[in-house]
Amino acid sequence: MTLNTTSKAKMIIDKSFKISEVNPRIYGSFIEQLGRAVYGGIFEPTHATADEDGFRQDVINLVKELNVPIIRYPGGNMVSAYNWEDGVGPKESRPKRLDLAWNSLETNEVGTNEFVSWAKKVDAEVMMAVNLGTRGIDAARNLVEYSNHPGGTYWSDLRKSHGYQDPHNIKVWCLGNEMDGPWQIGMKTAYEYGRLAAETAKAMRLVDPTIELVSCGSSGSGMETFPQWEAETLEHTYEYADYISLHQYYGNRDNDTANYIANTLDMDNFIKTVIATCDYMKAKKRSKKTMNLSFDEWNVWFHSNDQDKQVEPWSVAPPLLEDIYTFEDAILVGSMLNTLLKHSDRVKMACMAQLVNVIAPIMTETGGGIWKQTIFYPYYYTSVYGRGTALHSIVDSPKYDSKDYTDVPYLDQSVVYNEETEELVIFAVNRNLENQLLVDVDIRSFEGYGLVEHVVLENEDPKAINTITNEQVKPHTNSKSYIENGTLTAVLPKLSWNMLRLKKNEEK
């Protein structure tokens, strides 16, 4: 079979080259009381599809399609000045508050109980964040008691009086948000945060010993204090937290596609540096515990920066951070998911920020329809089919240099093997802007496996977008890839995201 291509790569995949079981929480997301994420996003009582609780069922259906296992709430920057008590109890008596993080007016019509109810509707658990900006130990331990204690105490009985007899049993809790950031209400030094987080963690665990806790890492790899922040805060939180957080966003501000889609090299280095810092602290403390990572904010974010400056201050649910994503954004998102999978031995949770309207894969019109952004598709396929064991593959790929990176492989990939369903799934990005990539994949370890489907996301225009009336970027199947003599020959179109799904043939 002759193919017209100038780029070739090789891969070896073997069942024994295991990285780790993939924790489903790696496909989590995030809803913040920000912009139209809640009001006009997940919650719109006057919408034609609204259910008895005011939640949009068209949104619920798309979120369920993504198979999102865990959703972080309520922030984000807003949590650092948020009083959780404002969002519980009779709605008519809830106060309206200035949201200092986003210059908006928060009505508190949706709060802890409502969000937990919504999360159940989409089959997701809640990752709850507590305010360590303007508040601390007392408010955090009270919220755990309100949420998780069965009854017979002030806060648990208050929950019952609000109509929620059974405890919410929220298992994952974030100890604040981006506390190293100058933009954060109640920003802390590493020492201040470490001490407060450790003491808060201890109190929260006294209320519910079963919870899992996330300590704040740096707000991004570009922070001047990175990774010293991790080292100093872990001096205090290492034995109390189960995870340390990572946050990272990328944007193609220089309009340089080749450099932009190489940003996962930075993401990979970010993860490795945090792991090294955690392991240094493990050695320093002579601990038997290994600190895992929660990459609980990641995405592309830059398109809406200018328009956000024009929003009327102190308005309710203004259209903030409504990035309209391009095809090249979807390519990078696919590569970011690959990076998470390749570090699944330590990255046990991750949250695409965010889920609806705010830098999100799902967009809605208030009072109107709904549509899938370009980034929806790599997120969907990886979440649905990337369940099982991540495998380390041996890759030989041609490379290129860009403005910020050298030796960027044209082939970016991750591999997941699901032994239970006997499926092997390859997620592959061809970063080559000009040529298709022919990849010979040695799959002799998977004898008897056939190619079920090859899904491709491609477009001639890297800037192509989706709108409610015109979906320019959507997946299709590719029939050019084939298996012969223990080799999968994968034909990856230029600048494309791909999923190749193989399954063991049934014995006749």
Tell me the pLDDT tens digit for each residue of 348-360. 999 999 999 999 9
* Reported confidence tier of residue 507, pLDDT bands at 50, 70, 90: low
* Reported confidence tier of residue 6, pLDDT bands at 50, 70, 90: low
Question: CA dihedral defined by 297, 298, 299, 305, rounded to 10 degrees?
Answer: 50
The catalytic residues are 178, 297
Average pLDDT over residues 57-64: 98
Distance CA 291, CA 52 (A): 42
Q: How far is CA 141 from CA 76, 203, 209, 241, 501, in A?
A: 19, 6, 12, 15, 46
Residue 119: closest CA among 159, 170, 52, 161: 170
Distance CA 404, CA 416 (A): 30
Question: What pLDDT was estimated at residue 479?
Answer: 86
Average pLDDT over residues 169-186: 98
Task: Name the least confident of 4-13, 296-305, 312-321, 405-414.
Answer: 4-13
- Tell me the per-residue pLDDT of 68-84, one tens digit each, with 9 for 90 and over: 999 999 999 999 999 99
5 versus 31: the higher-pLDDT residue is 31
Q: Show the domains of the chain with their CATH numbers.
A: 7-16+390-504 (2.60.40.1180), 23-385 (3.20.20.80)
Distance CA 34, CA 99 (A): 9
* Reported confidence tier of residue 141, pLDDT bands at 50, 70, 90: very high
- Residue 169 pLDDT exceeds 60: yes
* Reported confidence tier of residue 265, pLDDT bands at 50, 70, 90: very high
Q: Give the largest Cα separation in the chain, rounded.
A: 74
Place of tokens 């996330």: 214
Percent of the chain with pLDDT over 90: 97
Question: What pLDDT was estimated at residue 138?
Answer: 98
Give the chain's mean pLDDT.
97
Torsion sign, CA atoms 279, 281, 283, 288: negative
- Residue 4 pLDDT exceeds 90: no
**Parallel/antiparallel/unpaired status of strands 394-396 and 7-12:** antiparallel
- Tell me the per-residue pLDDT of 221-244, one tens digit each, with 9 for 90 and over: 999 999 999 999 999 999 999 999
Asked if 69 and 379 count as a contact pair (C-beta separation under 8 A), the reply is no
Q: Which residues pair with 326 in a beta bridge?
A: 465
Residue 162 token pair = 């609000």
* Reported confidence tier of residue 58, pLDDT bands at 50, 70, 90: very high
- Residue 332 pLDDT exceeds 70: yes
Average pLDDT over residues 370-391: 98
Question: What pLDDT was estimated at residue 502?
Answer: 98
Question: What pLDDT was estimated at residue 506?
Answer: 74
- Residue 217 pLDDT exceeds 80: yes
- The residues, ordered by sequence, that sit 6+ positions from 445 with a Cβ below 8 Å of its Cβ are 13, 14, 15, 16
- The residues, ordered by sequence, that sit 6+ positions from 43 with a Cβ below 8 Å of its Cβ are 54, 55, 56, 109, 110, 114, 118
- Residue 191 pLDDT exceeds 60: yes
- Residue 379 pLDDT exceeds 50: yes
